[in-house]
Amino acid sequence: MNKPAEFSPQVKLETVPVWINGKALAPSGRCGEVFNPVTGQVTKKVAFADSSLVDAAVKAAAAAFPAWRDTPVLRRARVMHKFLQLLQSEHKALARIASEEHGKTLDDAMGSVQRGIEVVEFACGIPHLLKGEYSDSVGAQVDTHTLRQPVGVCAGITPFNFPVMVPLWMFPLAIACGNTFILKPSEKVPSASIRMAELFKQAGLPDGVFNVVHGDKAAVDALLSHEGVKAISFVGSTPIARYIYETAAKAGKRVQALGGAKNHAVVLPDADLEFAADALIGAAYGSAGERCMAISAVVAVGAAGDPLVKLLEKKAKQIKLGVDMGPLITRQHRDKVASYIDIGLKEGATLLVDARKQHTPQEGFYLGTSLFDHVTPEMEIYKNEIFGPILIVLRVSSMEEAIALVNRNPHANGTAIFTGSGGAARRFENEVQVGMVGVNVPIPVPVAFYSFGGWKNSLFGDLHVHGTEAVKFYTRTKVVTTRWPHQDTPAPGFDMPSLG
């Protein structure tokens, strides 16, 4: 690895701007620092929006809304098609931006960008997705039909771990439905959102339809309280998701707030254990465990326990930092994740793979892999979403115990079962109380034309992101009943009308 140039305070850093009304703006005021987690160096600054800048973004979006709402849906779809083409041409460039600011490997970033692009592909079908229902002659000379109409100015608040994919879960569908949008990406990974705004404008999107502001809680609170914002989408931790939901709902906004997770993978004795171990290693340690869908808890059933743990131990030790797994997002987060190793030992879990004993690059925010066995549900390493490269193994004697264990957890984002039995898989998918289920699939993130989201403390609100549920979230249904009477139809009377 080539050593980067030493950071000097005299070096003038690029400032990542905000994007309002089709223009990049770099206002004076508070700024944040953007790191490259691989080197640990500050590479950029990012302009933080205050309430007045958020207000400017909302006003730009509100002014652009009437014309965009009234733009024929086919024309909106054509803009979306052009945006899709530009995203495809910039696929690797966007992945590089994500890799440089988040630290994930380039291959991992490429895959996440592709999953985001697939949502835009789905959004290109918006003329079909917005079709309503129609009933002819529900009464004498009476017809009824429904309309799906946009809600207005929408906002999205997205996390650091997927700088391209998660924003693409939100704004393309919202905009395709006829809304305007304000994106507040994580201030740790701001650059990809500005690049996507530039590409969207190049695709023909009118100014003001898509806006990007950066910042911390001040910017978030300004969006949550602004009366001009009609809907809020969020992905992040459970405490913040609950805060977003309660604050925005109290202000009368429509809200979908996706929270954290503790995702279990149940492994039955009849599973292909080599296959399962390979899948679990990638699901646990990929993206350094910084995924809301990462498998962080393996539930080994009966005789699967010992051989599975041996395989996991062997494979976890073979992971190469900087090749298979990148660093964590910040030094503070790395240190917090590492602190759970001591916590697990104090709680009595068996530490089989210890990140503290592995060679790590001296530069950057790297942490090696850790594996705990004989973990129990009372332990903090089980109860907390660690969001890092620590995998824990719990042991149970039966599938019934495994399902009960998963169902007791307050989080319910994703889960998986590894088995060769169709009957066991069918029972699991029906009885487990989790929003997304994989059968011999460790990370069951659905394809773009299905919706993503969990249950319990992993979701606040009623509708999930992308897929058809997102179309419902970003539109309101209007029911229209019409009558075109013949000339010989009697005039309306004063009695309660009936349609018989």
CA distances from 211 to 15, 200, 214, 305, 451 (A): 17, 10, 10, 51, 24
**Active-site residue flag, 292:** yes
Cβ within 8 Å of residue 266, ≥6 positions away: 299, 301, 399, 402, 403, 406, 415, 416, 417, 418, 428
Angle formed at CA 34 by CA 22 and CA 330, multiple of 5 degrees: 135
Quickly tell me which residue has 């790297």 as its tokens: 366
Rounded Cα distance, 119 and 3, in Å = 38
d(CA 125, CA 145): 21
The separation between CA 485 and the C-alpha centre of its own chain, rounded to angstroms, equals 51
| 320 Cβ neighbours under 8 A, 6+ residues apart | none
CA dist 24 and 290 (Å) reads 30
Residue 325 bridge partners (DSSP): 321
Q: What is the CA radius of gyration of the chain?
A: 25
Q: How far apart are CA 2 and CA 102, in angstroms?
A: 19
Element (DSSP H or E) covering residue 351: strand 350-353
Nearest to 185 by CA among 167, 170, 200, 169: 167
Helix (H) / strand (E) containing 315: helix 305-317
* Active-site choice (31, 154, 177, 292): 292
Tokens for 408? 């007791």
Identify the helix (H) or strand (E) that includes residue 217. helix 217-225
Q: Where in the sequence numbering do the catalytic residues fall? A: 292
